Amino acid sequence: MSRISGGQIDRSKTLRFSFDGVSYTGHPGDTLASALLANNVRLMGRSFKYHRPRGVISAGSEEPNAIVELRSGARQEPNTRATVIELFDGLQAQSQNRWPSLKFDAMAINDRLSPFFAAGFYYKTFMWPAAFWEKIYEPIIRRAAGLGSLSKQDDPDTYDKGFLHCDLLIIGAGPAGLSAALTAGRAGARVILADEDFRMGGRLNAETLEIGGASGADWAAKTVLELGSMPNVRLMPRSTVMGAFDHGIYGAVERVSDHLAEPLPGKPRQTLWRIYTKHAILAAGATERPIAFENNDRPGIMLAGALRAYANRWGVAVGEKVAVFTNNDDGLRTVADLKAKGLDVTLIDARKGDEIIDSAGRLGLKSITIRRANGQTETLHVTALGVSGGWNPSLNIASNHRGRPIWDDQIAAFIPAPESIAGLTCAGAAAGAMSTHAALTTGANHAIAALADLGLNAIADIPQAEDAPLNLTPAWYVHSGKGRAWVDQQNDVTVKDVKLAKQEGFVSVEHLKRYTTLGMATDQGKTSNVLGLAVMAELTGKSIPETGTTIYRPPYTPVAMGVLGGRARGHDFKPIRQTPSHKWATEQGAIFVEVGYWLRAQWLPRAGETTWRQSVDREVLQTRKSAGICDVTTLGKIDIQGTDAGLFLDRVYANTFGSLAVGKVRYGLMLREDGMVMDDGTTARLGQNEYVMTTTTANAVPVFRHLEYCRQVLWPDLDVQLISTTEAWAQYSVAGPNARKLLEKLVDQDISDAAFPYMACGAITVQGTRARLFRISFSGELAYEIAVPTRYGDAMIRALVEAGREFDAVVYGTEALGVMRVEKGHVAGNELNGQSSALNMGLGKMVSRKKDSIGMVLSQREGMTAPNGYRLVGVKPVNPSETLTAGAHFLAKGAAALAENDGGWLTSVVYSPHLGHSIALGYLKSGDNRKGERLRSVNLLANTDVEVEIVSPHFVDPEGERLRG
């Protein structure tokens, strides 16, 4: 038997799909589960541990059994629940966790060996011998563990992330959610209604109940239509609210394209929304729970509500001869609905003492054994069985902030505690209000209350609906025989396993979970947690709430890693910053290096150069010989203005700035409050109350933040204004003996040494374009930095290169820059390591004691000024053919490589083409008076041990004659 009349499927259209290579058909509106059942396929998977044949037990996201691999190739996705997969034409699904086939699974041998695999077996079995663990046990367990398999190919789809804002978020579009949305929407509130299903209406789509005289499903459809017409309401079907986070923020995954064979061009597969809401209503309904009995896991045995849903919503009869085993009146609804569909239904009512004690059928249910209240047993041939042990409110989200649910005897289930999460209330079955009338009423009332908080008046308009009680008498598991009764079907946890856990002392729910794996994996125990708890409660003689409960972390259902990453993948992982010369440098074939988000030219190879060293050596030599050009735009530029700007600089820099004349630049050293060096750079005085500070590239943002802190928090009384201008100006360094000659060709003003001496700055023009010129040098050569508005930066580099042609000027990258600064003994990132003082860097005299500045006092601490502390030194190999390695430590000759013999380390190492050998800067204990000493530089990682000589850190032009040239 398969399709029967009715249901919300479009029978005018046929969709083709395959499962384990066999082709089937279904209709729009089907899930993979409903379509398979309609094709008489009950066997959909194998259980995790024992590889028991399993079929679908639910009709929703709680499904523990019907877990399949969806799609193929790079889009292959393991562990998807057949019950929530919306059928599309061409869908391909495979069963998983079986070999070689679903019907014949060799691993089912585990089931025969089950006495050896009871709960906790791996804690006991794999203990001895200890040496076996890494080589034998772990690989075996790893191979056996896990469900499904990955394609190991890159996901070809894209995922979005975004932000939504509303007054009221309603989670779940069943009767309670729809009622709340209608009430709030009509009152004009901004509402988001999210539901994990592709069709809104929740259980109303699975029931034959009436609302206001119409069928519940029709009322739902009509309500959704009205909500859809409201501009203030956003309907989000196929959207799972997966967690409640802080301050009214909820996470929701919208499955934008999962119902398509592949996403439309440009469209994401899924979107992760962060929903900012003032109030939220949890109306997620309830999840039915089974009653455990022996062999209660055969395909064809499912939750009674699911059996009813397949018949009512999808027009599928799982069997012609059906039984229903229930402890509550909701089970009777299944009986009535299935009978109305013309099926042969037998009721086994636990409340009357009737029980099912066993079932038969290897790959699918064939019969059940019933024990009547009078003790008589009988065998009934059925191919479908619906079981109802009651309903557990879907309170997961409400416990995300550790709110502990409370027990409700009326429905024998946990309900959310009031105010579990600020701003969240629960309505309908999620709050334990199980009738349709109660759902509609609580939904509307919670919406009214939420809106009252926002100053909006809402009116409830609640249609007529059934208000029948559940009439539940708790029945958790059937006490009979020695067979296995399944509690958690996904993890193969049985009543016996719970008993074993108790016997071995794992009574606390947290221990029970870890010992038996109850409630783990993809379904997180939605159908099994309370049942497991109830079994434990009975064994310990305590009540269920005394025994405990589990609370839930996000996510509510599994979330793909891809959607958590969003667009931040590959090239889009982070933004890039391009320098003004980027386009030109790309044309030259420059090699770029990432410096933060910046891409800087590292070196610019010329034809015939085969190694980076050839390019870098040429760039260095030619700069020192003639002229070199470098894009230095990345250095931070901070515009500092105000009548107290000079005083401000005196306080943030360790050296004096108040005396800096207009039109002059000075090198500045900035300390942290603890006296360590924070950053260095130059600051130019452009006007009476106007300065521009440069920072290192890496510290542009931290220094700006620091200055803002100083300005706003430390000295709000100072008249100082700050703004970053890093991006506003394209800045190039022009260095080398011919730097001035080169610039003179472009600059409209006199920049002779007399007119523009060392450390001068000022506004100039370049062929009429506004520009700034600074005579400063990092390379130690005669050098300038010239800045033009960034839009002219590309033209400027081209003009500089053209003007430099007659001098055979080069453009150099960061490698050459690094070589030249080490040759000159300038500190940079490796020396500015956050643990070094001005004294360490040989810049101790820069810290002025004549004024107060940040870090000045603490830089004078005893430990900071110890004469045997680290000092910056230059280092060269005694044998020039030997190469130094950065990070190597200083050891005295003959000293063992032990921490107590450590004398310091090499901070920066380069090859100096000027000197023809490796040179380095380093921090050496008492380094300032050890020039000429010979030590070893030892790097145990690189396995090097090189004899070195300590020299001045100024390898080139120590007197600074070149830069003043």
Interaction site with another protein (CB under 8 A)? 158, 160-165, 190, 265-268, 271, 274, 276, 567-568, 572, 574-579, 582-583, 597-598, 633, 639, 641-644, 689-690, 717-719, 721, 723-730, 748, 766-770, 788-796, 799
To another protein, the closest distance from the beta carbon of 642 in angstroms equals 6
Contact 383, 505 (CB under 8 A): no
Identity of the residue, 725 or 926, whose beta carbon is nearer to another protein in the bound complex: 725
Instruction: Supply the minimum distance, in Å, between the C-beta of residue 189 and another protein.
Output: 13
Closest CB 569 distance from another protein, rounded Å: 12
Residue 405 and residue 397 in contact, taking contact as beta carbons nearer than 8 Å: no
Q: What is the DSSP letter of 942?
A: T
The amino acid present at 797, given as its one-letter code, is I
Dihedral through CA 177, CA 180, CA 184, CA 189, nearest 10? -40
Question: Minimum Å distance from CB 161 to another protein?
Answer: 7
Complex with another protein: residue 646 or 780, whichever CB lies closer: 646
Contact 203, 175 (CB under 8 A): yes
3-state class (DSSP) for residue 345: strand
Whole-number Å distance between alpha carbons of 18 and 16: 7
Token look-up 């709030």 returns 184
Q: Shortest gap between Cβ of 813 and another protein (angstroms)?
A: 17
What whole-number distance in Å separates Cα of residue 540 and Cα of residue 442? 36
d(CA 237, CA 196): 6
Question: Of 103 and 791, which CB lies nearer to another protein in the complex structure?
Answer: 791
Q: Residues 6 or more apart from 938 whose CB is under 8 A from it?
A: 888, 889, 890, 891, 897, 944, 945, 946
Residue 267 or 401: the one with the smaller Cβ distance to another protein is 267
Given CA atoms 555, 558, 563, 569 in this order, what sign does their dihedral have? positive
Pairing mode, strands 636-641 and 690-695: antiparallel
Q: Which is nearer to another protein, 195 or 644 (CB)?
A: 644
The residues, ordered by sequence, that sit 6+ positions from 232 with a Cβ below 8 Å of its Cβ are 185, 188, 189, 190, 191
Residue 66 beta carbon to another protein: minimum distance, rounded to whole angstroms: 32
Whether residue 558 contacts residue 77, with contact meaning beta carbons closer than 8 Å, is answered with: no
CB of 566 to another protein, least distance (A): 9
- Closer residue to another protein in complex, CB, 79/270: 270
- For 137, which DSSP code? I
- Between CA 31 and CA 10 the distance in angstroms is 12
Name the residue nearer to another protein (CB basis): 257 or 623: 257
Q: Which is nearer to another protein, 137 or 276 (by Cβ)?
A: 276
Kindly tell me which of 548 and 642 has the beta carbon lying closer to another protein. 642
Shortest distance, CB of residue 686 to another protein, whole angstroms? 11
Task: Give me the least distance between CB of 445 and another protein, in Å please.
Answer: 27
Minimum distance, C-beta of residue 623 to another protein, in the bound complex (Å): 24
Query: Please, what is the minimum distance in Å from the beta carbon of residue 397 to another protein?
Result: 21
**Quick one: 566 or 663, whose CB is closer to another protein?**
566
CA distance 652 to 638: 13
CB count in 10 Å sphere of residue 859: 23
Nearer to another protein, 470 or 638 (CB): 638
Q: Which residues contact 142 (CB under 8 A, 6 or more apart)?
A: none
- CA geometry: angle at 248 spanning 247 and 253, to 5°? 120
Token readout for 772 is 């700034």
- Alpha-carbon distance of 31 to 7, in angstroms, equals 12
Q: Supply the minimum distance, in Å, between the C-beta of residue 743 and another protein.
A: 14
Coil, strand or helix at 802:
helix
Q: Which is nearer to another protein, 449 or 576 (CB)?
A: 576
Closest residue by Cα to residue 404 from 207, 553, 550, 237: 550
